[in-house]
Structure 1
Amino acid sequence: MKFRNLLLIVLLAVTFQLSAQQPTLLPQFTFYRLDGKAFSNADIKQGKKNLFILFDCTCEHCQRETKMLNASYAQFKDVNIYMITMDEAYIIPQFFDSYAKGLNSKPNVLILQDKKRMFIPTFLPKQYPSMYLYSSTGKLLMYQSGDGGIKKLAKVVGK
C-alpha cells in the first residue's frame, strides 16, 4: 500500500512538472483584434518567425521591455510580433503612447486582447512579460520572461 501511494505521488509530481513547461509547438489559440475580430493560428502571416508577448499595461517590467522592443525594432522588423493583453481596449493606446510610441502601428506588430483569458492556461507563462519566439513552422525557439528578454531574443532573431 505504501509503495502504491509513493508511486502515485511520484507520478503526480512528474505530471505536474511536465505540464508546467512552455509548449514547444505553437498551441491553438483565438485572441481578438482591437476591433473585436477574432484572430487565430490560421491568421498568422506565413514564412516568418513569430514573437508572442503577453503584457499588462500596468506592469513596470512590461513597460520597460516594450520600450526596449521599440528602441531595437530594426532587429525585429522581419518577425511577426503579436502582443497579447487581458487589459481593456481603452487603456492599450495610452500604454503605447507612453512607453513605445508608434510600435503598435508598425506593419508587423499586431495588438491582441485575450478576452477569454486563455493565454495563461495555454502558453503557461511564468510572469509578465512573457515572450515566446516561434519559428515559421511553429517550433519554440526561445522563451523569456521578466526583464532582459528583448535583448536575449534579439540575439536569436538574427540567426
Structure 2
Amino acid sequence: MKFRNLLLILLLAVTFQVEAQQPTLLPQFTFYKLDGKPFSNNDIKQGKKNLFILFDCTCEHCQRESKNLNANYAKFKDINIYMITMDEGYIIPQFFNSYAKGLNTKPNVLVLQDKKRMFIPTFLPKQYPSMYLYSSAGKLLMYQSGDGGVKKLMTVVGK
C-alpha cells in the first residue's frame, strides 16, 4: 500500500512539473566538460546569445535535430552552443561521428555532461531534445522541444 501511495505522489509530481514554465532567466547550473572539469554560469562566454540543448544519444529526435544543426551551423556560428547530455562519456563521440560529424569540435560548441541529473529539475524540459535560447543578458528568447526546433530557432537567432 505504501508503494502505491509513493507511486501516486511521484506521478502527480511529475505531472505538475511538466506543466511548469521554463525559466525565463538563465538558472544557476553546474555541468561537466568531457574531461570531468565543472562548467557553470560563471564560465559562459560573455557577449553572445547562448543556446542550451538537452539531448540523449539514443533519441531519434535528438539525432535528427543535431544533424540539422550541423547542416545549418553557419546560422549558429555567432552563438554559444552548449549541448548537455546525461549519457556516459564513451557514447558521446560515437553520437557526433554518426549524426553530426564535427559539430562537437566547432569553436563555439561545448558538449557537457549532466552527471548530477540537475538539468531536468532546473530547466523543466518537456521532451528530448529541448532547446533554450538565452540572450547575452540571460533572458529566455525561445524554448523549443522535440522535432523542428532547429528550424524554428533559425528564425530567431539572426535577430
- Work out whether 1:112 is the aligned partner of 2:112: yes
Q: Which has the larger radius of gyration?
A: 1
The answer on whether the counterparts of 2:18 and 2:124 sit within 8 Å (CA) in structure 1 is no
- Work out whether 1:58 is the aligned partner of 2:62: no
CA-CA distance at 1:19 after TM superposition:
7.1
**Aligned-residue CA RMSD in angstroms?**
1.3
User: CA deviation digits over 1:128-154, x for unaligned, max 9?
Assistant: 000000000000000000000000001
Counterparts of 2:102 and 2:67, CA distance in 1: 11
The answer on whether the counterparts of 2:96 and 2:104 sit within 8 Å (CA) in structure 1 is yes
Moved >6 Å (runs of 4+): none
Counterparts of 1:84 and 1:150, CA distance in 2: 16
- Please show how residues 6-85 of structure 1 align to structure 2 within 5 Å: 16=16, 20-85=20-85
Change (3 A) 1:19 1:41: farther
Counterparts of 2:130 and 2:91, CA distance in 1: 20
What are structure 2's unaligned runs of at least 5 residues? 1-15
Counterparts of 2:113 and 2:98, CA distance in 1: 19
User: CA deviation digits over 1:79-132, x for unaligned, max 9?
Assistant: 000000000000000000000000000000000000000000000000000000
What are structure 1's unaligned runs of at least 5 residues? 1-15
Change (3 A) 1:146 1:90: same
Give the % identical residues.
88
CA-CA distance at 1:18 after TM superposition:
10
Q: TM-score, normalised by structure 1?
A: 0.89
In structure 1, the partner of 2:153 is 153
